[in-house]
Structure 1
Amino acid sequence: MKKVLFLVLVNLSLVTHLTLAQETESNWDNQAYLINKVAWGKNQWRFSGELQTRFQNDLTQLQQWHLEAAATYMPSDNWEVVPDFRFTVTPTRVEYRPGLGVIYKNLFTKSQLVHQIKWQYDQESTGYSSHGLRYALFYNYLLSEKFLGSAIAGAIFEFGEQFSDFLGVRAGFSVAYIFDETNTLNLGYFYGAINNGESYENIGIITLGFIINLQKKFDHLPAKYISF
């Protein structure tokens, strides 16, 4: 267990320091993500719907809101396949994003290590489109009967006509309070660095999420992760 936690912490440190080393100018923005999610299903299938609202410019301006639907197929204890679709509205455009993710889970007595690889296609109402490939690592540890702690790190590449490069990283921690079998409240803080083509923009993200699990009769334990 100590080796697993050490690897997660090393991963968090590497992605953060790699980004900082590449910056050409220093800047910072405080952002907030408000998340409302409902999940249900049974046996090998889990479905979810999510409404997420994001604020930027030190929480003074709406960045976007989006709706995301996902269907998770769990053929075994360790593997999950997750097709999803996101509809996003920003102040200047509308975006459509179908995606397909593959998840591998390492399961332990009180924890799980979740590896996520995901392809996504972004189509904007402006006509611009791009492909994205992301990898994310989630380490979830059951601190007590009521609290679940998570360490998270992820990176994404984007491929499009206007931009094809490493897009950025996010890393941080979150704590979930488990009210009961149905309701969970999650609070997190993340560092992010976004490549704008000339430099890296630094962001600090507060996340607050309320998750409702309507049914938990699954053949396999679902992976615990958040959608960026």
Structure 2
Amino acid sequence: MTTTPRSPRLLVLSTVILAVVGGVALLGVPHGQQPPAPATASAAAAATDPSTAAVPPASQPTGPRPPSPASTTSASSTPAAPEPALPPHGEGPAGDRAIQRSLEESWPADLPADDERELLAAGRALLRADATGVGRAKWPEVFPASDQAVVPGFAAARFRIQAAIARRDGSPDKAVVHLVWAGMDRGGTFTDLRISDWHFTRESSKKGASTWTPQPRT
């Protein structure tokens, strides 16, 4: 398909019309004022790019404000977290008092003072005999002859009872002595915060006196 060439007269007429329209537009602008320049590509990009938006003054920060003196004071006056009830392993004799206090607070006393003293003395002696072999012959019902010949598992010089309490064991005629202790075994390893329980039963004699009898270990 071919295209008919445009007439020279038509091109001249189009040029004249464009010149007239341009002159009329210039006449509409007030004297001494330049016509507005067309928007450039950079201006259009600035209008659409959020990173080029107006930045607020430095005197009006948009981030979080620092705490007021009142809030700072309240934060600094907050009490510290409570210390752990038991001392860490390896604390030594300095931590024994804290262990004793923790036992007494978690298991309130429920025995007469005389019974408690008797039970504590017997429980301590039984634990020492069991761990070190010292005094096993005093309780043949607890440590039979076969047990008395066994080599002690812990050195008597490195044995220490850290804390002990005596409490009822479900009945007024039954009690348990709860002991926490430390010692060095035959392999040379020292360990503290060990736990042992010794159970007792109250027995009455023909004369009416009652004593606490230790029960064999099971």
TM-score (ref. length: structure 1): 0.26
Greater Rg by CA: 2
Higher strand share: 1
Higher relative contact order (CA 8 A, sep 6+): 1
TM-score (ref. length: structure 2): 0.26
